[in-house]
Amino acid sequence: MKLGWPVEIAGTGAYLPERVVTNDEMAQYVDTSHDWIVQRTGIHERRRAGPGESTVTMAKHASEAALADAGVTPDEIDLIVVATITPDYQLPATACLLQAELGCRWVPAYDMAAACSGYVWALIQAAQYVVNDLAQNVLVVGAEYLTTITDMQDRGTCILFGDAAGAAVIRRSQVADRRMLAGQWGADGYRSMLINIPGGGAKEPASHRTVDERLHFMHMKGREVYKFAVTQMHSILVDTCAEAGVSVDDLKLVVPHQSNLRIIESACKRAGVPMEKVVVNINRYGNSSAASCAVGLHEARQEGRIQEGDLVIMVAFGAGLTWGSLLMRV
Ligand code: COA
């Protein structure tokens, strides 16, 4: 989609739990090794939320940092969207809990369940309220407590995931050139079951049996997801640039979803993007789903990797299967 919307990221924030889980620690739970994990995924360690922490508390920390960065107070927020697949409760929405935690007004607050694409989708969706003057300042959050839905007995998944939160405040651009230039969002529901949590929902309500059979954890067909991811990440990267009428060479920074270093390297290499232009933090945080691009964007801003006028693209994919991209001139 060609967008051309005069919407800017006014501020960003992130929160990473203190507790570091190394690959050697993972090898105490399942039959794996540091070398296997590094070679196949690029992950060295990930974070795990601890006592007293939850998706909402992580979202709150990240949001407060984003608000401070944007110079916006909680009562100036007009809409809150939280991308998450690990809400604190089935209901109410995490965004409603966050609204109260931050001390915002009674503004609309809802969750977006698009898995790892959720943050990009939430940005695209939230920006429409800004463009249409239905909201001035929107808080967009990606927050995940993935280790609560990760089966620590399944070596095919447990090594991948970590906990984190990232946030951004978006508003109408204060500088003419800052724009959301193009974006994509899509889903292939025909392949929904490649990543799913079979139990605990309306189809298989929680019972002793669903717990005994570990159906309340995430199940994934890793190899098939891998193939989808490499192809899709490459094509949305290239297609989004084409829709905006910019060359891939002109990109200053690519902020990809951190799912597997090999997926990122393969997609970027095929698109002709050198790795020095790519944000990589999977070595430190693993895959934090909806928080992944949010944290990546925040860290890139903090490290001074993004300057006025740069072209920055986020690319993500995840359960659903879903995908999303957003190309901005910042
Ligand atoms: N440690 C050691 N061996 C492992 C392992 C682990 N943690 N996990 C799997 N293996 C084994 C498998 O059992 C298999 O053994 P077998 O050949 O005896 O059956 C072998 O390694 C190869 O398994 P495979 O699934 O083909 O490995 P892979 O190279 O595809 O890597 C993933 C597995 C999960 C790392 C990879 O498929 C992946 O990253 N997929 C995408 C996942 C993703 O991005 N998900 C999130 C979407 S947002």
| Residue 159 near ligand 1, beta carbon < 6 Å | yes
| Residue 93 near ligand 1, beta carbon < 6 Å | no
| Residue 222 near ligand 1, beta carbon < 6 Å | yes
Quote the ligand 1 centre to 241 CA distance (angstroms). 31
Contact of 277 with 310, CB cutoff 8 Å: no
Query: Of 172, 204, 232, at which residue does a domain stop?
Result: 172
- The CATH number of the domain holding residue 94 is 3.40.47.10
pLDDT tens for each residue of 194-221 = 999 999 999 999 999 999 999 999 999 9
Q: What is the mean pLDDT of residues 168-173?
A: 98
Contacts of 229-232 spanning 24+ positions with Cβ under 8 A: 229/259, 229/260, 229/263, 229/267, 229/317, 230/263, 230/266, 230/267, 232/317, 232/321, 232/323
Which residue out of 61, 234, 257, 298 is catalytically annotated? 257
Q: What is the mean pLDDT of residues 218-246?
A: 97
Q: What is the mean pLDDT of residues 312-330?
A: 98
Claim to verify: residue 17 and residue 109 sit in the same structural domain: yes
Identify the domain containing residue 209 by its residue range. Answer: 179-329
Claim to verify: residue 196 and residue 114 sit in the same structural domain: no
Q: How confident is the model at residue 20 (pLDDT cuts 50, 70, 90)?
A: very high
User: What percentage of the chain has pLDDT greater than the value 90?
Assistant: 100
**Is 116 an annotated catalytic residue?**
yes
Q: How far is the C-alpha of 137 from the C-alpha of 134, rounded, in Å? A: 10
Q: What is the mean pLDDT of residues 217-235?
A: 96
Q: Whose CA is nearest to atom 28 of ligand 1?
A: 223
Quote the ligand 1 centre to 41 CA distance (angstroms). 9
Most ligand 1 atoms within 8 A of CB, residue of 30, 40, 322 to mutate: 40
Claim to verify: residue 151 and residue 129 sit in the same structural domain: yes
| Residue 225 near ligand 1, beta carbon < 6 Å | yes
Nearest C-alpha neighbor of 160 from the set 118, 96, 239, 217: 217
Q: What per-residue confidence (pLDDT) applies to 64?
A: 98
Claim to verify: residue 194 and residue 123 sit in the same structural domain: no
Q: What per-residue confidence (pLDDT) applies to 267?
A: 97
**Is 257 an annotated catalytic residue?**
yes
Q: How confident is the model at residue 19 (pLDDT cuts 50, 70, 90)?
A: very high
Query: Of 134, 157, 172, at which residue does a domain stop?
Result: 172
Which tokens sit at 4?
């051309």
Q: What per-residue confidence (pLDDT) applies to 48?
A: 98
Residue 312: strand pairing partners:
253, 328
pTM: 0.97
Q: What per-residue confidence (pLDDT) applies to 255?
A: 98
Minimum-distance ligand 1 atom for the alpha carbon of 318: 48
Claim to verify: residue 116 and residue 200 sit in the same structural domain: no
| Residue 10 near ligand 1, beta carbon < 6 Å | no
User: What percentage of the chain has pLDDT greater than the value 70?
Assistant: 100
Query: Of 172, 202, 223, at which residue does a domain stop?
Result: 172
Quote the ligand 1 centre to 198 CA distance (angstroms). 20
Claim to verify: residue 297 and residue 320 sit in the same structural domain: yes
